[in-house]
Chains A and B, each alone.
Chain A
Amino acid sequence: MTVVQEQERLHVSSHNEEPVRETLVLGNPSVRDVTSRIASIVESKITLKYLATLAVTGGMAAWGLFALYYTFATGIGAWGLNNPIGWGWDITNFVFWIGIGHAGTLISAILFLFRQKWRTAINRSAEAMTIFAVICALTMVLSHTGRPWLFYWLLPYPNQMQMWVNFRSPLAWDVFAVNTYFTVSALFWFIGLIPDLATLRNYVKSDIAKKIYGVLSMGWTGSTRHWHHYEIAYMILAGISTPLVLSVHSVVSFDFTVGILPGWHTTIFPPYFVAGAIFSGFAMVMTLLVITREVLDLKQFITLKHFENMNKIILATGMMVGYAYAMEMFIAWYSGSDWERWVFINRAMGDYAWAYWTMVLCNVVSPQVYWFKKARRNIPLMFIISIFVNIGMWFERFTIIATTLHHDFLPASWGYYTPTWVEISIFIGTFGIFLTLFLLFAKFVPVIAIAEIKSILPGAQPKHHHHA
């Protein structure tokens, strides 16, 4: 029976089987099968197709780095920013990438606390995606400073001017929030990897690989005395990552809300940004996993059940951002402020109406197909929707930034913003960096949390006498 047939069978008859829930790992593999299935990806030969893909993404990254070099050599004038519009694609891309990261933390931390076992198949790749997305976000935000070699001016350090950073500024909060997020995500990811790196150390055949995985796995032996500490540490990291992920995008939204511009100065922004971040992040996880699952043949572990759950979250968070769009409009009217009302009418009907309606179509309309189970389990469809959501969420940030800035209070400071080739190249470059890192990860690091998958296999846990 093929995996797909088995899934169909389990799906149909799941209500009269013992675990009542749909099986998360198909094909009933033994513990050893799990090791060899996932670890063998690392040992498999590097194919021409892989190298060709890597060359394309590496080329994109190189092109982006060239555009960054051009920016730094020329100055920010190389971008399309102008007087009313001081933030353009730079901050749009920053918020876009940092938002993508949020799904990884949600899957690894929040779903862990809620004991959602289905997270085990996807958490590793989602966490990796988080780290790579935050790297792209940091690239954007550093390049937007114009002189990134002076980045340390953002940090409070003793200097000859005896000046400190202004801690009342949300931009200073952002520095702390994003760096904390990157550090904690990286630590969480690495701690999760240690047991699997030890598995690879004992699995791989070449001496060099053994050495590398040996050093990285820190000498992990699987000792129960160590697992004892490890599980509590993992729980603590999950516990603190949960409020952290909610705080990071809240702080990012403070960059806008603390300013007193109509369209930005709203209290709905923090929850609205967090919901949007999770929404966009799940879409990106979906885009990547549909491909990874196909290319690395992981259908056994990443099943339609996983995709269906993710699509439910995409539907729910999509509805939340839809609600936020509607509520923004309502509050703009209800506020009685002429400026506020005008900005929102302008957002939907002004120069950037095309961006606004692209956002609404992609984010609110397209996920509505997920009310139907057939759609939630249709792989080509979910791939397309995930791309739509990625596009829509990018346009959400662009709409927020551009529509508020392009018409300032006085008509004398009205303008329109179009990016130059440099900004477009940098954005393509961040995708190049992101995809290159993900490709390297998928080849050289266990893409699925081996130890976690083993622990949820049927019969993996002892039957205790005190509960049946």
Chain B
Amino acid sequence: MSTTPVGVIGEFTEVNAAYAAAEKLRDAGFRNWDIHTPYPVHGLDKAMGVKRSIITYISFLGLVGGLSTAVGLQLWTGAIDYKLNIGGKGFFDWQFSIPIDFELSILGTAIMTVVGLFHLCRLPTWYNKYQEDESFKKATDDTFVVTIDSDDDRFSADGTQDMLRGLGAVNVHLVNASAE
């Protein structure tokens, strides 16, 4: 029995129980744990004590990047690099630059939002230490699956399982690292 467990899994079938358990586990001081849900559950992130996402700042960077690219591109190409006289109009005027300023701001924001989301969620990661576990797979169907990793300071194989059972989780079990 030299295999070390990667963590403990427990299932909740009812959303209010999962919500209450999240608050208890947060208050117990666990850090490396998660609840996997089939759909976004309102307020569950707060109940888990998850800090506010920084993704809005990343998106804002995209907006700034897109806007400055648009202004820079139109200003530099038209008024600096190659002055093209078209009907005697100005080489650069903010008025005519608006449509492209706007579109590239949106494009920059969208791309950075997706990049930020992928980075913060570590997507794509085509591996998860729980992926072979049958309970874990139910999280994309109809079950709220709690995972508590063994590297958490408060983790103890028996104690954590008992705690989860006490909170109303069913099918609580240890998950061992896969043989490969």
A49 at the interface (CB under 8 A from B): no
B interface, over-half SS: helix
In the complex, the answer to whether B113 meets A237 with C-beta atoms within 8 Å is yes
Q: With an 8 A cutoff between CB atoms, is B1 at the interface?
A: no
Query: Chain A CB within 10 Å — which of B77, B139, B140 has the most?
Result: B140
- Write the B16-29 contact mask toward A (1 if CB under 8 angstroms, else 0): 10110010000000
A218 to B118, CA, bound (A): 9
The answer to whether B123 and A220 touch across the interface, beta carbons within 8 angstroms, is yes
**From A183, A214, A225, contact of B126 by CB (8 A):** A214
Check B142–A225 contact: CB distance below 8 A: no
Q: List the one stretch of A65-73, A141-149, A403-411, A453-461 in contact with chain B.
A: A453-461
B140 touches A236 (CB 8 A): no
Give Cα A460 to B40, complex, Å.
10
| B179 CB–A CB distance under 8 Å | no
A16 within 8 A of B: no
Partner of B110, one of A162, A164, A183, A203: A183
User: B37 contacts which chain A residues (CB < 8 A)?
Assistant: 222, 224, 227
State how many angstroms separate the Cβ of A48 from the closest Cβ of chain B.
31
Q: Knowing A227-B45, A460-B15 are in contact, say whether A222-B56 is a contact too (CB < 8 A).
A: no
Give the A-B contact count at a CB cut-off of 8 A.
Answer: 202
Q: How far is the CA of A163 from the CA of B137 in the complex (A)?
A: 56
Flag if A177 contacts B99 (CB, 8 Å). yes
| Least distance between A110 CB and chain B CB atoms (Å) | 15
C-alpha gap A467/B93 in the complex (Å)? 53
Rounded to whole Å, the gap between the CB of B63 and the closest CB of chain A is 8
**Which residues of the other chain, B, contact A231 by a CB distance below 8 angstroms?**
40
Q: Are B140 and A222 in contact (CB under 8 A)?
A: yes
Q: Are A228 and B50 in contact (CB under 8 A)?
A: yes
Q: Are B104 and A233 in contact (CB under 8 A)?
A: no
For A226, what are the chain B residues with a Cβ–Cβ distance below 8 Å?
120-121
Q: Do B50 and A451 touch (CB < 8 A)?
A: no
Pairwise interchain contact A240-B109, C-beta atoms closer than 8 A: yes
The interface residues of chain A lying within 8 Å CB-to-CB of B169 are none
Find out whether the CB atom of B126 lies under 8 angstroms from the CB atom of A219.
yes
Knowing A32-B142, A224-B36, A232-B56, the reply to whether A187 touches B110 (Cβ < 8 A) is: yes
Closest to A167 in B: B74
* Contact across chains for A230 and B142 when beta carbons are under 8 A apart: no
User: CB distance A236 to B142 under 8 Å?
Assistant: no
Query: Contacts A225-B45, A236-B109, A462-B41 known; A203 to B82 CB distance under 8 Å?
Result: no
| Residue contact A227 to B40, C-beta cutoff 8 Å | yes
Chain B residues near A167: list those with CB within 8 A: 74, 77-78, 96-97, 100
**Contact A232-B53, Cβ < 8 Å, known A176-B104, A219-B127:** yes
How far is B114's CA from A184's CA once the two chains are assembled, in angstroms? 10
Of the residues A31, A187, A229, A251, contact of B121 by C-beta under 8 Å: A229
Q: A464 at interface (Cβ–Cβ under 8 A)?
A: yes
B interface residues with partner A (beta carbon < 8 Å): 15-16, 18-19, 22, 34-45, 48, 50, 53, 55-56, 59, 73-74, 77-78, 81-82, 84, 86, 89, 96-97, 99-100, 102-104, 106-107, 109-111, 113-114, 116-118, 120-121, 123-128, 130, 136-142, 145
Q: Which 7 A-B pairs have the closest CB atoms?
A: A31-B142, A164-B77, A218-B124, A462-B19, A173-B99, A455-B39, A228-B45
Between-chain CB contacts (< 8 Å), 26 pairs: A31-B38, A32-B141, A166-B86, A167-B74, A168-B89, A172-B100, A183-B107, A183-B110, A187-B114, A194-B123, A195-B39, A198-B140, A199-B140, A203-B140, A222-B36, A223-B34, A224-B35, A224-B36, A224-B45, A230-B121, A233-B114, A236-B59, A247-B106, A455-B39, A459-B15, A461-B15
